[in-house]
């Protein structure tokens, strides 16, 4: 497939899955618009990829109410045509919901859901007007079930799932495809930033960011509705849909509760 004349815009491109998606698209010779808050990291990636494709770097904070619209306006002002939108930017929080900072939860929903919706509507409308384009929404395997100790994060990703798969139906016949990627635990900075501890049982399901990016980009170009990387993650996604919801919630809560117990105190005898 020969690349279009338009750009691929990747949010959250400074690290993790977003960075690897950018590399994967550059290998396919798609010019890039890289978006994140950390401009120094974006510049380093631009230098790395500039010998393959044209790369534009834009600093944006999508956790603010005005961030997504400002990004869209910036892209339009530069005269850049976006044919691929990768909504990867996201954040997580772990802990008991009643003890969370509500302002931080609100910012997480702004980033994970509302900014994603804004960018999808703005760039998606432009794609429909031109008769073609691709949208890749990065959700999470947590979208498939209520997850105690990550309840707000899981709810935000469930919103991405419901919105994106319904939008795909609305866009039938427009030439614009919507693909939703559901990564499980991935080797990124995400868990460290979210202060997340995961059950040891899930260590066998961990995939690299590069592997997840390859799966997601490939699925996007094939026009797939959804993709869950890794057979263990696919099995978990399937079981979460067929088992009793109360049972699957209890199992997830029990595992996460054990994973987040404080470490035992080191008592030394003299």
Question: Residues with catalytic annotation?
Answer: 153
* Cα distance between residue 81 and residue 100, in whole Å: 40
Q: Report the SS3 class of residue 199.
A: coil
According to DSSP, the β-strands at 55-59 and 7-11 are unpaired
What value, to the nearest 5°, has the Cα angle with vertex 88 and ends 84 and 94?
Answer: 165
Pick from 237, 35, 14: which is nearest to 142 by CA? 237
CA distance to 116, 163, 174, 176, 178, per residue, from 170 (Å): 17, 11, 9, 10, 10
Query: Which spans in the chain are helix H?
Result: 16-27, 39-49, 67-77, 102-109, 115-130, 151-170, 190-193, 209-221, 231-242, 245-259
Cα–Cα distance measured from residue 191 to residue 217, given in angstroms and rounded to the nearest whole number: 23
Distance of CA 247 to the CA centre of its chain: 27
Residue among 55, 69, 12, 74 nearest 37 (CA): 12
Asked if residue 10 lies in contact with residue 88, where contact means CB atoms within 8 angstroms, the answer is yes
Q: How many CB atoms lie within 10 A of CB 253?
A: 15
Coil, strand or helix at 29: coil
């Amino acid at each position: 497939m020969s690349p279009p004349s338009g750009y691929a815009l990747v949010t959250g491109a400074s690290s993790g899955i977003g960075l690897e998606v950018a590399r994967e698209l550059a290998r396919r010779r798609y010019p890039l618009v890289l978006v994140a808050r950390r401009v120094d990291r974006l510049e380093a990636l631009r230098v790395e990829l500039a010998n393959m494709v044209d790369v534009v770097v834009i600093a944006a904070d999508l956790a603010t109410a005005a961030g997504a619209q400002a990004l869209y306006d910036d892209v339009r002002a530069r005269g850049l045509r976006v044919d691929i939108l990768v909504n990867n930017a996201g954040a997580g929080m772990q802990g008991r919901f009643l003890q969370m900072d509500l302002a931080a939860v609100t910012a997480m929903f702004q980033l994970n859901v509302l900014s994603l919706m804004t960018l999808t509507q703005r760039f998606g409308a432009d794609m429909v007007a031109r008769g073609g384009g691709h949208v890749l929404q990065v959700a999470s395997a947590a979208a498939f079930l209520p997850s105690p100790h990550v309840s707000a994060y899981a709810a935000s990703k469930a919103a991405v799932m419901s919105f994106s798969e319904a939008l795909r139906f609305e866009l039938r016949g427009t030439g614009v495809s919507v693909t939703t990627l559901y990564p499980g635990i991935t080797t990124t900075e995400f868990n460290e930033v979210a202060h997340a501890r995961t059950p040891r049982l899930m260590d066998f399901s961990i995939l690299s960011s590069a592997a997840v990016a390859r799966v997601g980009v490939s699925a996007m170009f094939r026009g797939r509705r959804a993709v869950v990387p890794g057979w263990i993650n696919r099995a978990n996604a399937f079981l979460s849909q067929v088992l009793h919801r109360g049972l699957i919630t209890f199992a997830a809560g029990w595992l996460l509760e054990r994973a987040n117990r404080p470490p035992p105190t080191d008592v030394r005898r003299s």
